[in-house]
Amino acid sequence: MRATIYVTDDEQSVCSALSRRLTKYEHLVRSFNSGESLINALDNEVPDLLFLDLKMPEMDGLETLKRVREITPKTLVIMLTAYGTIEDAVEAMRLGAYDFLIKSVDFSTVEPALDRALNFLELRSQVEYTALEKQRQYSWEHVIAKSQSMVKIVDHLKSLAVQETPLIFLQGEVGTGKEFLSRVLHYNSPRHLAPFIAVSCNEERATLLESHLFGYERGAFSGASQAKHGSFEHSDKGTLLIDGLEHLPSQVQGSLAEAIRTRSFCRMGGVEQFPITNRFILASTISPNQPGQGKNFHPELLTLLQGNQISIPPLRERRQDIIPLAMKMIQTYGEEIGRPKLDIDYSVTAVLGSYKFPGNIRELEAMIRRALLSSQGPALTSLDFYSDEKIM
């Protein structure tokens, strides 16, 4: 990685020696002899990395560091000093410094620090690129909402995405898109650079769910030879989706409700309280507002769900969305198989419009995929769908 690096030290000899050492690795290096000159330069360009002397006259290193963090919070700052103290290091780290080096005659400590910083910058760049791709994949424009019911839901989700609402409960039949909407909400929120973790209670054995969510301490149970983080910690500052909530054992539901309410939790077998920083999205096919369905949920969790429920309608109740969804899928999956310009015949509208879609969007997706593979012409026709036994 070729980086832009600034060196700031009131000793010209230090600036020159360090700049020469960094330049030989083909980095773009600029040097400054005071905090004031550095701050002025940041109006025109911001570096990837800054080597900053701690002890300088007038504006010292710590004051300069504060100003730098305000102007360019993503720049990594490595503090330099000839006679540093633990107190200086702690204060510099508190203010946002990435590393702290003692200046040596031969600058032998620079290369290891430089390698660490560049590796961090590359990793951060990869994370940001991945997040950007996820934002594109899960942008609001990919949410098909032509029906009045879905328009209202999408508007509601958009408002929740930018808020710090700690809990959202999505209820809907299998295949209505609860996980997709959860990802859209996450990647269009201030949390988009943090992890999105999805846990399916349908796919986990009940005995493993508690340890999967909360983690555990060493010795918590037979075979727990070392402590392990759970999904609460893996989703730090991000979003944790717990799908199939009705399959979560009642005791674990109670612990989950307590964690959401107090914004803290204990690992299994432990007593230490850990703060919760993530947003919870809970999802279920069952609505606790329906008569007799509340028994599937722990009383404390039920109270939280009822105040945060968003019901996703089945596809049969949002028929205006069927053809736009189908067209989107034809474009997406047509590109995958090398047929990007496929259209649909007018007869397809009647076929899809009269079908009940018990499997909702997931079933429509499977039907489109099968039709694309069987179709030979420039457009999908009703014959491509009548080969599907479900709608014959």
Contact 166, 209 (CB under 8 A): no
Residue 9: pLDDT over 70: yes
- Tell me the average pLDDT across 80-109: 80
| Per-residue burial over 282-320, b = 16 or more CB atoms within 10 Å of its CB, e = otherwise | bbbbbbbeeeeeeebbbeebbebbeebbbebbbbeebeb
pLDDT per residue as tens digits for the range 170-204? 999 999 999 999 999 999 999 998 999 999 997 66
| Residue of higher predicted confidence among 84 and 26 | 26
Q: Are 199 and 242 in contact (CB under 8 A)?
A: yes
For residue 389, pLDDT beyond 60: no
The predicted pLDDT at position 202 comes to 78
Distance of CA 133 to the CA centre of its chain: 11
Beta strand extents in the chain (DSSP E only): 4-8, 28-32, 49-53, 76-81, 99-102, 167-171, 196-200, 239-243, 264-265, 274-275, 279-284, 309-311, 343-344, 379-380
- 247 or 343, which is more confident? 247
Question: H/E/C letters for each residue in 361-390?
Answer: HHHHHHHHHHHHHHCCCCEECHHHHHCCHH
One-letter amino acid identity for 59? M
pLDDT tens readout for residues 111-135: 899 999 999 999 888 878 877 888 8
CA distances from 166 to 161, 169, 232, 261 (A): 11, 10, 13, 9
Question: Per-residue pLDDT for 85 more than 90?
Answer: no
Domain ranges, ordered by start, for the chain? 4-131, 138-313, 316-391
**CATH code, residues 4-131:** 3.40.50.2300
CA max distance for the chain:
84
Radius of gyration, alpha carbons of the chain: 28
Could you name the CATH architecture of 138-313?
A: 3-Layer(aba) Sandwich (3.40)
Is the CATH number of domain 316-391 3.40.190.10?
A: no
What is the model's pLDDT at position 107? 76
User: By the 8 A CB rule, do 295 and 286 touch?
Assistant: no
Q: Which residues contact 231 (CB under 8 A, 6 or more apart)?
A: 197, 199, 212, 213, 240
More confident of the two residues 206 and 172 = 172
Cβ count near 150 (within 10 Å):
19
Q: pLDDT band at 75, cuts 50/70/90?
A: very high
Q: What one-character DSSP code corresponds to residue 234?
A: H
Q: Token pair 């609860």 is at which residue?
A: 178
Span 362-385, mean pLDDT?
A: 88
| 292 conformational bin, left if phi > 0, alpha if psi -120 to 50, beta if neither | left
Task: Please check the confidence at residue 340 and state whether its pLDDT lies above 90.
Answer: no
User: Do residues 217 and 268 lie in contact, with contact meaning Cβ atoms separated by under 8 Å?
Assistant: yes
The residues near 344 (Cβ < 8 Å, ≥ 6 apart) are 323, 326, 327, 330, 379, 380, 381
CB count within 10 Å of CB 236 equals 16
Q: How confident is the model at residue 260 (pLDDT cuts 50, 70, 90)?
A: very high
Task: Say yes or no to pLDDT of 388 above 60.
Answer: no
pLDDT band of 245, cuts 50, 70, 90: very high
Round to whole Å and give the CA distance between 101 and 107: 10
Rounded mean pLDDT, 243-248: 93
Judge whether residue 386 has pLDDT over 80: no
Task: Give yes or no for a contact between 364 and 325, defined as CB atoms under 8 angstroms apart.
Answer: yes
How does DSSP assign 89-123, residue by residue? HHHHHHTT-SEEEE--TT-TTHHHHHHHHHHHHHH
Whether 67 shows a pLDDT value over 50: the answer reads yes
For 93, the token pair is: 């780290």
Residue with tokens 């759970």: 230
* Fold match, 138-313 / 316-391: no
Question: What local confidence, expressed as pLDDT, does residue 40 receive?
Answer: 93
Sheet containing 196-200, strands listed edge to edge, beginning at the edge strand earlier in sequence: 196-200, 239-243, 279-284, 167-171, 309-311
Of 15-19, 128-132, 162-166, 280-284, which has the strongest mean pLDDT?
280-284
Question: What pLDDT is stored for residue 392 in this prediction?
Answer: 46
Query: What does the pLDDT read at residue 235?
Result: 96
Q: Percentages helix, strand, coil for the chain, rounded to the nearest 5?
A: 50, 15, 35
Residues 6 or more apart whose Cβ sits within 8 Å of residue 86: none
* Residue 302: closest CA among 264, 265, 257, 262: 257
User: For residues 139 and 121, what is the distance between their CA atoms, to the nearest angstrom?
Assistant: 26
CB neighbour class for 235 (10 Å; exposed up to 12, middle 13-18, buried from 19): buried
Predicted confidence at residue 351, as pLDDT, reads 87
Percentage of residues in the chain with pLDDT exceeding 70?
A: 96
Backbone angles phi, psi at 207, to 5 degrees: -70, -20
